[in-house]
Amino acid sequence: MEIEHLVFGDAPERVGPFSHAVRAGDFLFVTGQMPTVPDDPGKLASGEIEGQTRAVMENLQSVLAGAGTTLDRVVFARVYLVNFQDFDRMNTVYASYFAPGKLPARTCIGVTGLAVGALVEIDFVVAL
C-alpha cells in the first residue's frame, strides 16, 4: 500500500510538526484541526465553544478540499473537548456541517488541555 503525506498551502498553518493528512490506500487520515485563524496558528478564532467548533470545521473543510474531497466522505470523527459541559453546544455546530442522517461514526474524548489553549479539536478518517 502506498502512503502519501500531504501538506496543503491553502489549508490552515500547522501548529506542530505533522502533515495535514495522510493518504493510505482508500483512506485519508486528517490531522486534528484547531480553532485557529488559518494564517496564524497561534491565534484562536473565538473564545466560545460554538465559534471554536465552527473554526475547526472550516479548517477541516480546507484540508479536505486540498485533498479533493468533502465532508460527505467522512466515515469517522474524533472530538476532543476540554470541558464536557460544552458537549451539547459543540454538537449543535458540529452536526450542522453534515447532511441530515449522514453523520459519521464518532468518539468524543475529554482532555485536560489542547494546543494553543483551544477548547475543541476534531480529526477525521475519510473514505476516498
What would the pLDDT profile of 15-44 be if each residue is shown by its tens digit? 889 999 999 999 999 999 999 998 888 899
Mean pLDDT of 43-59: 93
Q: What is the dihedral of CA 39, 71, 110, 41, to 10 degrees?
A: -10
Kindly tell me if the per-residue pLDDT of 92 is higher than 90. yes
Residue 115 corresponds to which amino acid?
Answer: A
Average pLDDT of the chain, as a whole number: 96
- Percent of the chain exceeding pLDDT 90 equals 89
Q: What is the pTM of this model?
A: 0.96
pLDDT band at 85 (very low <50, low <70, confident <90, very high): very high
- Check which CATH number belongs to the domain holding 36 and give it: 3.30.1330.40
Q: What is the pLDDT of residue 40?
A: 86
How many CB atoms sit inside 10 A of residue 62's CB?
A: 16
**pLDDT of 47 higher than 80:** no
Could you tell me the residue range of the domain that residue 112 belongs to?
3-127
Written as one letter, the residue type at 55 is: A
Task: Please count the structural domains in the chain.
Answer: 1
Mean per-residue pLDDT, 75-91: 98
